[in-house]
A = this chain, B = another copy of it.
Amino acid sequence: MNFNGKSSKLLEDAIAQFSTLPGIGKKTATRFALHLLRKPEIDVETFASAILKMKQETLFCEICNNISDASICKVCSDNSRDKTLICVVEGIHDILAIESTSQYNGLFHVLGGVISPMDGIGPSDLNITSLIERVRKGGINEIVLALPTTMEGDTTNFYINRKIEAFEVNVTILARGVAIGDELQYTDEITLGQSILNRKPFIKR
């Protein structure tokens, strides 16, 4: 919508800010702004302060670079977790996704991206040195590579593997195959091919 300057400058500012969110156009941004305008002032204060506090007060874990309220994150400081296992991920969103499965009980390491020469991102721009340092210190049995299944993710997988193959540590990668709920006819041929090559016994004996 075009406001032609006939509306409130303050409303327009709020709409402009909401429009900066990923996937949000001016129409949805307007809906958000008007929604908050109808709410009690205390609710809007809570809304604004929660966002500001998140940015100002969250830290990044000194060990794994996960988001944290303290210098060591909840995962790294949790003694019930398997400290011999490190899952390497691109970003914090991947930790949230893996944690939501409840299938992983090891530690994490956030790279902060993947190697991408096209975007000018080299190994030195990522938290790879600190990962190698963790492996060098010993006590790690397995590194699970959970990077994106893209060319850049694969490049990063190979780079990390080469850097740590000198150490006595298993390097594994997430299984790739047909997603649950997917129909075979709509699965791309590379994924389907991999799922045939990596087929496994139907019932484990």
Q: Is the interface of A mostly helix, strand, loop or mixed?
A: helix
- CB pair A11–B54 under 8 Å, yes or no, is yes
**Interchain CB contact (< 8 A) of A2 among B3, B33, B100:** B100
Q: Is A62 an interface residue (CB 8 A)?
A: no
Most buried by B among A53, A78, A96: A96
- CB pair A95–B50 under 8 Å, yes or no, is no
In the complex, what distance in Å separates the CA atom of A2 from the CA atom of B58? 19
Interface size class of A (residues with CB under 8 A): 35 or more
Residues of B within 8 A of A3 (CB): 96, 99-100
Complex interface: stretch among A38-46, A170-178, A180-188, A197-205:
A38-46
Report the copy number of this chain in the oligomer.
2
Q: Is A55 an interface residue (CB 8 A)?
A: yes
Q: Is A82 an interface residue (CB 8 A)?
A: no
- CB pair B48–A36 under 8 Å, yes or no, is no
Residues of A6-41 contacting chain B, CB below 8 A: 6-11, 13-14, 16-18, 20-23, 28, 30-37, 39, 41
Residues of B within 8 A of A33 (CB): 51, 54
Q: Is A49 an interface residue (CB 8 A)?
A: yes
Residues of B within 8 A of A67 (CB): 7-8, 11, 37
Q: Is A136 an interface residue (CB 8 A)?
A: no
13 A-B pairs with C-beta separation under 8 A: A5-B74, A7-B66, A8-B58, A8-B68, A8-B69, A9-B69, A11-B54, A18-B51, A20-B47, A21-B35, A22-B32, A30-B93, A48-B48
